Structure 1
């Protein structure tokens, strides 16, 4: 019986040592995995921050450029829209003068804009041409974006007036 206790205590001692070694090994593996995971997370966060800073810098440059362009484009846009504010037919029939040839806009003669359906069709085509989201997809220049934003607002205002007059 005494012999049995010695053997059992020796086995138990060995078993405790191997458990300690296994848990130390597992702890080392876990520690390594955890530190690698933290490293990857930190690298992703650093990369995301750098990308955000780049986007912010580009947005700031674009805003500065828009302010600079506004000085000489606003009078040009005002000259184009002068006397036509709220007159959707007049704005649509002269749109090519403000957008330029590189915009993709096909001019529409005033005589083609007699019916409400024709005006609606031309308005829809114009909004596709000058909508800010569409410009972003086409990769328009800052100058084109600025002009189109202003024209889009003028057309939208004229459309609302046209719709209320048609009803």
Structure 2
């Protein structure tokens, strides 16, 4: 356990410095030294979830969080919020805090994956734990603004008396139109500008989500083709990045013969990351371009972690 705790401490230091890939590797090393079902392993899995969230590895982050949440719920059933469990290696665990951290990370990962209804459920659980959790409150507000309510199914129009099949009726000759509800026109005022804007935004989000689902397979195929055989070769990835970048990105690539020096690789990598960082994309970026940027961002980050480790940058 002491070796695992030491690897975890190293991972925490790397995380604070922003070296999320290296931090994840340290957490992996720590977890390899522990049995899967272990209190310390749960805490380290929560740390790894944070690193994976920062790297854009949302599915892996959710897997870690789900494991932590289940364990923390079990542990906290008979413990108060202030209970502290002291373990070997000088680790103090507050299971209520571990649960809250894992829920926050899971909700954020779900939101990033545009799984809005699932993210909303997690944020609501956080509010039940702490009604004053402003981070969860803000998350709920974001999710509610993104949710697109599904319209109710249209009712099948009733057949009029002129189209009723009297031969199949139990009461032939009966005029069924007397049972039809006549629509009465009411003089309701037109929707306000705020309502109209909300409806327009909902329609826009619905269109965006439909396009996202439509383009996802195409984009994933392009990303797979680009990275195949180059996953750990950042020079090859950067020199061929122009095959994925869209014109609006204004990407000026570099041939591989200009990426021989590690310093030049770092400069090119930093420029590429700045172009595809999810938080730095302009509002005019299309759904397909955002999907491409997300995939490029993840692949380059993993390749850079390997390159920096091998070259001691």
TM-score, normalised by the number of residues in structure 2: 0.35
Residue 147 of structure 1 pairs with residue 292 of structure 2: yes
Q: Which among 211, 224, 243 is matched to residue 97 of structure 1?
A: 243
**Quick check: 2:246–2:289 contact (8 Å CA) kept in 1?**
no
- What is the root-mean-square deviation of aligned Cα atoms in Å? 2.2
Paired with 2:231 and 2:260, the residues of 1 have a C-alpha distance of 18
The structural deviation recorded for 1:86 is: 2.0
The residue number in structure 1 matching 2:212 is 66
2:234 maps to which of 57, 75, 88: 88
Number of residue-to-residue matches in the alignment: 121
Deviation at 1:122, TM superposition (A): 0.3
Bigger shift: residues 94-103 or 115-124: 94-103
Report the equivalent of 1:30.
none
Q: Deviations over 1:14-47 (max 9, x none)?
A: xxxxxxxxxxxxxxxxxxxxxxxxxxxxxxxx98
- Return closer, same or farther for 1:56/1:156 CA change in 2, 3 Å cut-off: farther
1:154 to 1:49, Cα distance in 2 relative to 1, 3 A: farther
TM-score of the pair, normalised by structure 1? 0.63
In the other structure, the counterpart of 2:183 is none
Matched, 1:163 2:312: no
Larger proportion of helix? 1
| Structure number with bigger Rg | 1
Q: 1:134 is matched with which residue?
A: 280
CA distance in 2, matches of 1:92, 1:113: 9
Against the structure 1 CA distance between its residues 138 and 128, is the aligned structure 2 distance closer, same or farther, given a 3 Å change threshold? farther
Shift in alpha-carbon separation, 1:49–1:98, aligned structure 2, 3 A: same
Deviation at 1:146, TM superposition (A): 1.0
Partners of 2:256 and 2:234 in 1: how far apart?
10
**Which of 1 and 2 has higher RCO (CA within 8 Å, sep 6+)?**
1
Which blocks of at least 5 consecutive residues in structure 1 are unaligned? 1-45
Aligned-pair distance for 1:81?
1.2
Give unpaired runs (5+ residues) of structure 2: 1-191
